[in-house]
Amino acid sequence: LYQMQGLLLLLLLLCSNTHSAKGMVEIGAQWIHGPSAENAVFQLACQHNLLDEKVMSEENQAVQSDGYPPGRSVFYSSSGKRLGPEITGPAKDLYSCIHLKDQSKEGLVPSLGEFLKLQLSQHTRDWKEDEEDFKLKLAMFNMHIKLECCLFGSHSLDEVGLEIVEEYRTLPGIDCVFPGGFSTLIDAMMKSLPENIVSYNKPVKCIHWNGSFKGSNVMESSYPVLVECENGEMIPADHVIVTVPLGFLKERYETF
């Protein structure tokens, strides 16, 4: 990317002595979601030959999975009873029907969660069964909501804006993992960088924005950003991208 943008100099300042974590414990979305031609991560992994041949096949890339793993799911109640299609089917069909509805016309509610609850209250009037089956169907519907929370990365769909949902597009391909871990992609990308542009053990103390800073050469043009390192070194720059762990960001959100 930096080569495409025509940047003359790129520096990576890392506060630790490695570009990855101390150990590899992959939790969460360690897979490639929608491995197909339009997925930049998948294309990089293929270029570095980090995936199995079956995963990289055109057949695998063409599968329309709608973001869910292929195969038939089996559901059980909390008492251990296996739920039949008469319970799981209506809830799944209803969720799919509501989700595919033209949400842009529903201007009464701002969030996806409120939209789903409003639609659920209207559609469940047609469910005619005893109280136990009714509760099981609602539980199935709630399971789909919780799964959607995982996909959106939110604690509640009430926090997901209704307008942005229509912008989400699922790429084809069966989700896959890196045989050697996701970090193998990072390792391959780091090896492709030119020498001497990565500085380890160089924590940044402060970033001064929107200024006019001179470089080491007085004849140089001024720079809008100045990176101040804890060792006292000052690095002027045209652009700075800051990446920090989520925990660090939460602790020091006022700094940003």
DSSP string of the chain, one letter each residue: -TTTTT-S---EE-SSSSSS-SS----SS-EESS-STT-HHHHHHHHTT-S-HHHHSHHHHT---TTS-SS----B-TTSPBPPHHHHHHHHHHHHHHHHS-GGG-TT-SBHHHHHHHHHHHHGGG--S-HHHHHHHHHHHHHHHHHHHHHHT-S-GGGSBHHHHTT--PPPS--EE-TT-THHHHHHHHHTSPTT-EESS--EEEEE-S--B--SSTTSPPBSEEEEETTS-EEEES-------HHHHHHTGGG-
242 and 184 part of one domain: no
d(CA 80, CA 253): 45
| Per-residue pLDDT tens over the stretch 145-195 | 898 888 788 889 998 888 777 777 888 998 888 888 888 888 898 888 887
pLDDT mean across residues, the chain: 81
127-141, 149-163, 212-226: range with lowest mean pLDDT: 212-226
Give the pLDDT band (50/70/90) at residue 245.
confident
Instruction: Name the residue with higher pLDDT: 83 or 24.
Output: 83
pLDDT at 115: 86
Give the pLDDT band (50/70/90) at residue 21.
low
pLDDT at 25: 65
pLDDT at 219 over 60: no
pLDDT at 126: 73
94 and 45 part of one domain: no
Q: CB of 87 within 8 A of CB of 137? A: yes
The residue to which tokens 């140089």 are assigned: 220
Q: 197 lies in a domain? A: no
82 and 160 part of one domain: yes
* Environment class of 45 (CB within 10 Å of its CB; exposed 0-12, middle 13-18, buried 19+): buried
pLDDT at 193: 82
d(CA 24, CA 212): 42
Q: 238 lies in a domain? A: yes
Name the amino acid, one letter, at 48: H
pLDDT at 4: 47
108 and 155 part of one domain: yes
| Per-residue pLDDT tens over the stretch 23-68 | 566 655 678 888 999 999 999 999 999 999 998 999 999 988 766 6
Q: Collect all residues with Cβ–Cβ distance below 8 Å to 207 and sequence separation of at least 6.
A: 225, 226, 227, 228, 240, 242
The residue to which tokens 């099981």 are assigned: 136
Q: 54 lies in a domain? A: yes
pLDDT at 230: 92
79 and 156 part of one domain: yes
Token pair for residue 88?
């799981």
124 and 241 part of one domain: no
Q: Of 164, 182, 214, at which residue does a domain stop?
A: 164
In residues, how long is the chain?
256
Range 114-130 average pLDDT:
80
pLDDT at 14 over 90: no
Long-range contacts at 221-228 (CB < 8 A, ≥ 24 apart): 227/13, 228/204
Total domains, the chain? 3
Token pair for residue 166?
């229509």
138 and 79 part of one domain: yes
42 and 88 part of one domain: no
110 and 143 part of one domain: yes
Q: For residue 193, what are the CA distances in angstroms to 5, 15, 189?
A: 15, 18, 7
Token pair for residue 208?
């001064």
Q: Which domain holds residue 62?
A: 1-67+170-192
Q: 198 lies in a domain? A: no
124 and 239 part of one domain: no
Q: 199 lies in a domain? A: no
Give the pLDDT band (50/70/90) at residue 220.
low
Q: Which residues pair with 31 in a beta bridge?
A: 177
